[in-house]
Amino acid sequence: MCLAATVTLTASSTFPGATPVYQWKVDGVNVGTNSPTYTSSYTNGQVVTCVMTSSLSCVTTSTATSNAITMLVSSNVCYCIPAYGTSGNSGCLDGDVIAHVVLNTLDNLSGAGCPSGIAGYSDYSASSNPLHTTTLQAGNNYTCTVTAGQYGEGYALWIDFNDDGVFSTTEKVGNTTSVVAGSGSVGVIGSSRAIPISISCTAPAGQHRMRVRCIYNLAGPTIDPCINQSNWGEAEDYTITISSPVACPKPTAQTATAITSNSATLGWTIGCSETLWNVHVTNAGGGAPSGAPSNPGVGNPFNRTGLNPNTAYEFWVAADCSPAGNGTSLWTGPFAFTTLTSCSGTLPGSSFANPILIGQVPCSTAAYTNTQTNSTANCFTNNYSGANNQASPDIWYQFTLASSATVQVSHCTGTVLSDSYLHIPIALAQLHLMTIMARCVRGSKRQYRLHLLQEHIM
């Protein structure tokens, strides 16, 4: 039997009675439960027996011991052979192939042909070709690129990290999320797809079996490493080597969030199990520090304050592994971000409390035209919360109504305006009657008679 494989043994008895008792033994030690079968993996030379106690009262001897079985276990781990159909064009014979696999230095271009025939399985695990193997470092990220043949396929990859001969679900290291398009032509290679692969920091060092499998028109996440899910497809096995992680891996995937006019929250993805980092924040183009960083020994994420408004910055980050005696990692960066404009001084028109004053009506003879852009960069926000509120930032105006009057309000200088609204909130205490004329509301004039108070903000 193969190393790490499981074997099921069955006891066959004569006159066991209705309720016999079974006791399995390995090298004389009781194992298993009261069952006529026992399933386990074994080491080479172990001896298995079973003692059966009959429930019949008329038997001369109530117990019987089976013949001893000595387990012969190979030093090789055995892997399942992926199953496809049995029709004449099953496996990869119909152009359902892994035409090309590239992972780090592994580069196997088997082409649009079918090297494994109806079985759809090619084993390169013992190949002496240096392009059929590679070394991956624990804690690092890689990209595996797979290429289809004539037909569209889903792809998945496994690495048997514990070397037990089983590609478990936790050992699936990557897959395509959709079908990779084929060329549609016999003998012609199709499209390629990059599959991201992350090797855990705790991945066991040494050689391990890797499997790449494709199945016709099946999404990668649902592909099984062994069972028959389609008549068509191919699988390839390789031997890869996992090396130990670097003593102090550098972080990746920097981010800058919650950016204000004077602060930003800086983050990153840790390399393995680091807990301290050195961060350097500098003006855009400043580069990695040659001396002490601006913020040594910080956590992840890190909230950097004291920045200048409307300024382009970049930040660099390196792991600090000195508490464990492993120094510091290489710098990662630059990651660019820009602080917001300062809104500490409220701009006219940016709030209900600080509107743009457009004079007293009807005594004002000159029309007021606003030229400010109501953007968040100019400190305008969407702070109106009433009916028909729109998502864009608001501009607030104020006029004083001395008596009943007609007020003309124009949204724009053109003839058509889409999705703009005038809101007339009630402000102070003296009520008058007036008419609002709003121009440029979808190309027409409309009159509104509203009861308003003397002070109005709109």
Separation of alpha carbons 142 and 372, rounded Å = 49
Domain 252-338 has CATH 2.60.40.10: yes
Residue 147 in contact with residue 191, Cβ under 8 Å? Answer: yes
* pLDDT at 446 > cutoff 50: no
How many other CB atoms are there within 10 angstroms of residue 404's CB atom?
10
Taking residues 447-453, report their average pLDDT: 31
Q: Specify the pairing of strand 405-410 against strand 100-103.
A: unpaired
Amino acid at 124: Y
CB under 8 Å to 438, separation ≥6 — which residues? Answer: 409, 410, 411, 422, 445, 446, 448
CB under 8 Å to 129, separation ≥6 — which residues? Answer: none
pLDDT tens digits, residue range 187-218?
A: 999 999 999 999 999 999 999 999 999 999 99
- pLDDT, position 358: 66
Domain 100-243 has CATH 3.10.20.600: no
Amino acid at 186: V
Max Cα-Cα span within the chain: 125
pLDDT tens digits, residue range 53-96?
A: 999 988 888 899 999 999 988 777 889 999 888 777 789 988 99
Answer yes or no: same fold for 100-243 and 252-338.
yes
pLDDT tens digits, residue range 1-15?
A: 777 678 899 999 888
* pLDDT at 123 > cutoff 60: yes
* pLDDT at 44 > cutoff 80: yes
Q: Which of 171, 173, 142 is nearest to 252 (CA)?
A: 142
- pLDDT, position 450: 32
Residue 384 in contact with residue 413, Cβ under 8 Å? Answer: no
Separation of alpha carbons 15 and 180, rounded Å = 60
Q: How confident is the model at residue 226 (pLDDT cuts 50, 70, 90)?
A: very high
Which span out of 42-46, 63-67, 236-240 was modeled with the highest average pLDDT? 236-240
Kindly report the pTM of this predicted structure. 0.59
Residue 23 in contact with residue 13, Cβ under 8 Å? Answer: no
- For the record, the structure tokens of 240 come out as 């890869």
CA dihedral 106, 109, 112, 118 (to 10 degrees): -60
- pLDDT, position 401: 62
* pLDDT at 376 > cutoff 70: no
Residue 266 in contact with residue 317, Cβ under 8 Å? Answer: yes
pLDDT tens digits, residue range 250-277?
A: 999 999 999 998 999 999 999 888 999 9
- Residues facing residue 417 across a β-bridge: none
Q: Delimit the domains of the chain by residue range.
A: 6-70, 100-243, 252-338, 356-457
* pLDDT at 408 > cutoff 70: no
Q: For 180, left (φ over 0), alpha (ψ -120 to 50), or beta?
A: beta
